[in-house]
Amino acid sequence: MALRPSILISALSLMAVLAVPTAAPAATANPTHDSGQSSGAVAVPDDSLRALASRVGLRIGTAVNTDALAANATYRQITADQFSSVTPENVMKWQVVEPTQGTYDWSAADQLVNFAKANGQLVRGHTLVWHSQLPSWFSTDGVTTSFTPQQVRDLLYKHVVDEVSHFRGQIWQWDVVNEAFNDDGTPRESVFYMAYQALGLNGLDYIADAFRWAHQADPKALLFYNDYNIEGLGPKSDAVYALAKQLLAQGVPIDGIGAQGHLDTQYGFPNQMQQNLQRFADLGLKVALTEVDVRTTLPVTTPEKLAQNADYIQMLEACLLVRACISYTVWGFGDAFSWVPSVFAGEGSADIYDENLQPKASYFALQQTLMLASGAPHRDGMGAGRR
Ligand code: XIL
């Protein structure tokens, strides 16, 4: 699965480049074209984010709220038209797939995988090992559990292998481990970390275990470590870089690093994002922006809107400039469905479509950047610099 689509992408995106005149893509007569990235020849708008990104082999993804997908036709249409990759926002998390110990419920996730297939999209599996959204029978706070350390390890093994096996062959990238570090670069003392320490192991050894188990269960899926506040250079990114180097040295099957990209206009842009992504790429890893959104304090002012547009664009540019950056995923696309207001008091307006699913300036900013990514139209005459 990992190899075949990329061969298709390069062959088809070459055809797309050849077929499209040098004029701006939105100006072509044909309103739809093949996404350039699927064997299913799905027709999507020429000027959609996914069609534009396919010209440079990049996948544009979104997190999907599966309730909205089932209930809202406009939401469904935008998901299909604009995005070439989908991530379940919640329905592959341990809490959802195994609500009662030993009883799995894959129904919502299966529906999304089927939607993706029907629409020529790839799936980012999210997420196997995370301290949050654990089933209540296992842990309610992500730190404590009534199971013994050995039972924790055994349950983690079963969870990873069962889930990856269920979706074998259908997942492009798995977020195998999510958010294992604190912002200062020290390990997060999660239920997994504590159990491994109690077993006399290095607390972080659960990470290597999880990648090995996931690889056994689906050798073709790309396996990612995913975290926030690792977009730019800094102590947390340094810790993940050290981890990645160590895992590679130990022969652990890790394929990529996901930087979530949850930005907030009040903090400014992460430090040297392109260079940071490139250093992971230089280790031979793929990279991805996995959960992009840009929140701000409400009500949103004009300067904040401009800052949001700039952040969306700069993240996309950093990804476009690093060849190993294979996907840019927004964490949902409609403000009405965003996770931000419920988690960050007084903040919101973080997405590229508004409350009524109308595209915002940040949508058009991404669209324009993607148009430029395959080359600005060359000028003729004196201005072309010939004399
Ligand atoms: C969030 C979802 O968007 C919410 O609906 C849910 O209530 C909590 O989790 N980092 C991650 C995501 O890796 O899984 C989180 O998603 C957002 C932060």
| Three-state SS letters, the chain | CCHHHHHHHHHHHHHHHHHCCCCCHHHCCCCEEECCCCCCCCEEECCCHHHHHHCCCCEEEEEECHHHHHHCHHHHHHHHHHCCEEEECCCCCHHHHCCECCECCCHHHHHHHHHHHHCCCEEEEEEEECCCCCCCCCCCCCCCCCCCHHHHHHHHHHHHHHHHHHCCCCCCEEEEEECCECCCCCECCCHHHHHHHHCCCCCCHHHHHHHHHHHHHCCCCEEEEEECCCCCCCHHHHHHHHHHHHHHHCCCCCCEEEECCEEEHHHCCCCCHHHHHHHHHCCCCEEEEEEEEEEEECCCCHHHHHHHHHHHHHHHHHHHCCCCEEEEEECCCEHHHCCHHHHCCCEECCCCECCCCCECHHHHHHHHHHHHHCCCCCCCHHHHCCC
Q: Whose CA is nearest to atom 12 of ligand 1?
A: 89
Q: Whose CA is nearest to atom 5 of ligand 1?
A: 339
The predicted model gives 173-177 an average pLDDT of 99
The predicted model gives 87-116 an average pLDDT of 98
217 — pLDDT class (breaks 50, 70, 90): very high
178 lines ligand 1 (CB under 6 A): yes
Residue 99 has pLDDT above 80, yes or no: yes
360 — pLDDT class (breaks 50, 70, 90): very high
229 lines ligand 1 (CB under 6 A): no
Cα–Cα distance for residue pair 369/366, rounded to 1 Å: 5
Which residues lie closer than 8 Å to 138 by C-beta, 6 or more apart? Answer: 94, 101, 145, 147, 155, 191
The predicted model gives 37-47 an average pLDDT of 76
β partners of residue 327: 59, 288
32 — pLDDT class (breaks 50, 70, 90): low
19 — pLDDT class (breaks 50, 70, 90): very low
pTM tops 0.75, yes or no: yes
Residue 5 has pLDDT above 90, yes or no: no
Residue 2 has pLDDT above 90, yes or no: no
Q: Which atom of ligand 1 is nearest to the CA of 93?
A: 14
Indicate which residues carry an active-site annotation: 179, 291
- Residue-level pLDDT at 30: 38
Q: What is the mean pLDDT of the chain?
A: 91
332 — pLDDT class (breaks 50, 70, 90): very high
Question: Mutate which of 127, 176, 331 to test ligand 1's pocket (most atoms within 8 Å of Cβ)?
Answer: 331
Q: Which residue has the higher pLDDT, 386 or 112?
A: 112
- Residue-level pLDDT at 381: 81
Instruction: Determine contact, residues 341/299, Cβ cutoff 8 Å.
Output: no
- Residue-level pLDDT at 384: 79
Cα–Cα distance for residue pair 195/213, rounded to 1 Å: 18
Distance 36 CA to ligand 1 centre (A): 30
Residue 274 has pLDDT above 70, yes or no: yes
The predicted model gives 334-360 an average pLDDT of 98
28 lines ligand 1 (CB under 6 A): no
Residue 139 has pLDDT above 80, yes or no: yes
Q: Whose CA is nearest to atom 4 of ligand 1?
A: 339
Residues above pLDDT 70, as percent of the chain? 89
Least confident of 11-20, 29-38, 137-146, 357-366: 11-20
Residue 81 has pLDDT above 80, yes or no: yes
Cα–Cα distance for residue pair 49/140, rounded to 1 Å: 39
- Residue-level pLDDT at 383: 74
Q: How many CB atoms lie within 10 A of CB 227?
A: 26
60 — pLDDT class (breaks 50, 70, 90): very high
Q: Whose CA is nearest to atom 9 of ligand 1?
A: 90
90 lines ligand 1 (CB under 6 A): yes
Q: Which atom of ligand 1 is nearest to the CA of 262?
A: 18
